[in-house]
Structure 1
Amino acid sequence: MDWGTLHTFLGGVNKHSTSIGKIWLTVLFIFRVMILVVAAQEVWGDEQADFTCNTLQPGCKNVCYDHFFPVSHIRLWALQLIFVSTPALLVAMHVAYHRHEKKRKFIKGEIKNEFKDIEEIKSQKVRIEGSLWWTYTSSIFFRIIFEAAFMYVFYFLYNGYHLPWVLKCGIDPCPNLVDCFISRPTEKTVFTIFMISASVICMLLNVAELCYLLLKVCFRSRRAQTQRNHPNHTLRESKQNEMNELISEGGQGAVTGFPR
């Protein structure tokens, strides 16, 4: 799996994310993708070869292994990362479509006064509002759903997040109840708990970002209502708030090492 390609795509999404979204992307790559690529694959590389049972009955070992580990931890984690990352790509597609429409209008001369050239359109930061707000919040909602769903799948498939030292297996063609052993169960338990904890942190960041976006749109709606009721009184305050928001968005690139 080419994780570098995924990093490139999500790095583009990072330009249009909130500060919380940038933190989420950092946690995703440093504490999940990097751990999965560098460490976890080494720990689980010998899972089936070193799975042993105290019987010589042909087929018993394979059947017991398939029963206790229907899906490899590594493959399930990789699948989880793909599902969690996919909604973020919808934001990148939405922004690309938005810029394509602006380029088309610029070439036709419909918005000649707004931009100097096409390069300015490419470098313009797209604000999270309107249809992009719905796309962005929907992507966060689906990320939360996928995180929770995979955590439940892990718990359901492996009867919890702890790997026991001894597994009792009595499935045919095993002659009787046999003892089976997995390699490095304590180390694998530590990695499993670490990956689940990283999933919980990512899910909490997604919830926090979703709440932030909802509160932000509520404040904007309230401010717009106030401006309609008192246009002269709130004009200066509105300009100051917009300036503060632009300054805040300009400083979000310092939150992580990803490009804006």
Structure 2
Amino acid sequence: MNWAFLQGLISGVNKYSTAFGRVWLSIVFLFRILVFVVAAEKVWGDEQKDFSCNTAQPGCHNVCFDHFFPVSHVRLWALQLIFVTCPSLLVVMHVAYRDERERKHAEKYGEGCRKLYKDTGKKRGGLWWTYVLTLLFKILVDATFVFLIYYLYEGYDFPIVVKCTEIPCPNTVDCFISRPTEKRIFTIFMVVTSLACILLSFFEVLYLVGKRCKECLVSMCKAESSNKQKRQTATLNGKYGVESELLKTPGKNSAVPSYNVAMSY
């Protein structure tokens, strides 16, 4: 694994994330990717070789193993991690697209021209929708894989002895899983971390939507206050304008006093 590439990738994603997104990224990297790379393959290993049944009937061993382990846990978790982490790259790609568009615009109209974006990394417009949709997709992926693990393996528990009645087994056969307690612990750990990531992504969606609604309400209140102030100003200007016209032009009923001066000699 190229850790330098992974570090640069995480730094790029972390740069445009909220506080919830940074915590989500830390959990995914520390408690899911590292645990998967360091311990998961060693815990499971070659399961079909370690899966034993108390019968020598040809084909029974393979059929029972396929029944209880239709998909390898390691491959299923690897697929889950790929689907969960890849959507975050869409945000980085969207920001890179904005940067490139801003660069071409500056080359075409000059460095002093008006910018297309105030901040290419700020979650506004299409970037906001990209970020929210990636969060919803990650929630859907994690929830789907948590359900798949429960459905495929009939729960999150690994019994010491499993009963197999599949054909061509002659009767009910007892099969044994290697290290069932260890597998149970790691499965529960991965499920719990997936649920924690779902909650963090859900809270982040609520935070982004709430913040956007608050900004819209504030802008609407400012616009309404500005319009109200303009209406009041127009009303006052009209009132004082009428009064000034009345003062400048005397009406028909206005009386001009005349004085008769009598002089005696």
Interval containing the TM-score (normalised by the shorter chain): 0.7 to 0.9
Show CA shifts across 1:34-62 (max 9, x none): 11111111100132211100011122111
Residues 1:198 and 2:193 aligned together: yes
The equivalences for 1:46-125 within 5 A come to: 46-110=46-110, 112-113=112-113
AA matched with 1:19: A
Secondary structure of 1:81 counterpart: helix
AA matched with 1:40: A
Residues 1:220 and 2:210 aligned together: no
Secondary structure of 1:137 counterpart: helix
Alpha carbons of structure 1 residues 71 and 7: separation in structure 2 relative to 1, 3 Å: farther
Show CA shifts across 1:4-45 (max 9, x none): 655543431211111110110000010000111111111001
1:73 & 1:167 partners in 2: Cα distance? 18
The answer for the alignment partner of 2:121 in structure 1 is: 126
Which sits farther off after the overlay, 23-32 or 103-112? 103-112
AA matched with 2:69: F
2:156 and 2:184 in contact (8 A); partners too: yes
1:64 & 1:6 partners in 2: Cα distance? 39
The answer for the alignment partner of 2:141 in structure 1 is: 146
Question: Given the two structures, how large is their TM-score scaled by the length of structure 1?
Answer: 0.81
Residue 106 of structure 1: how far off its partner (Å): 1.2
Secondary structure of 1:172 counterpart: coil
Secondary structure of 1:55 counterpart: coil
- Structure number with the bigger relative contact order (C-alpha 8 A, sep ≥ 6) is 1
- Which segments of 5 or more consecutive residues in structure 1 lack a partner in the other structure? 116-120, 233-260
List, as ranges, runs of 4+ consecutive aligned residues in structure 1 with deviation greater than 6 Å. Answer: 1-4
1:90 and 1:135 in contact (8 A); partners too: yes
2:83 and 2:141 in contact (8 A); partners too: yes
AA matched with 2:52: T
Show CA shifts across 1:214-234 (max 9, x none): 0000111011112213359xx
Which sits farther off after the overlay, 61-70 or 188-197? 61-70
1:10 and 1:88 in contact (8 A); partners too: no
Question: Given the two structures, how large is their TM-score scaled by the length of structure 2?
Answer: 0.80
Query: Which residue among 131, 137, 151 is the counterpart of 1:136?
Result: 131
2:34 & 2:4 partners in 1: Cα distance? 11
Q: CA RMSD in A?
A: 2.2
2:110 & 2:156 partners in 1: Cα distance? 58
2:4 & 2:50 partners in 1: Cα distance? 31
2:142 and 2:198 in contact (8 A); partners too: yes
1:153 & 1:66 partners in 2: Cα distance? 16
Show CA shifts across 1:40-98 (max 9, x none): 11100132211100011122111111111010001000101111112212111211111
The answer for the alignment partner of 2:243 in structure 1 is: none
1:32 and 1:195 in contact (8 A); partners too: yes
Residue 2 of structure 1: how far off its partner (Å): 6.2
Query: Which residue among 141, 151, 155 is the counterpart of 1:156?
Result: 151
Which one has a bigger Cα radius of gyration? 2
1:10 and 1:89 in contact (8 A); partners too: no
The answer for the alignment partner of 2:43 in structure 1 is: 43
1:154 and 1:161 in contact (8 A); partners too: yes
- Equivalent pairs counted in the alignment come to 226
1:3 & 1:145 partners in 2: Cα distance? 28
The answer for the alignment partner of 2:15 in structure 1 is: 15
Residue 112 of structure 1: how far off its partner (Å): 2.6
The equivalences for 1:241-252 within 5 A come to: none
The answer for the alignment partner of 2:256 in structure 1 is: none
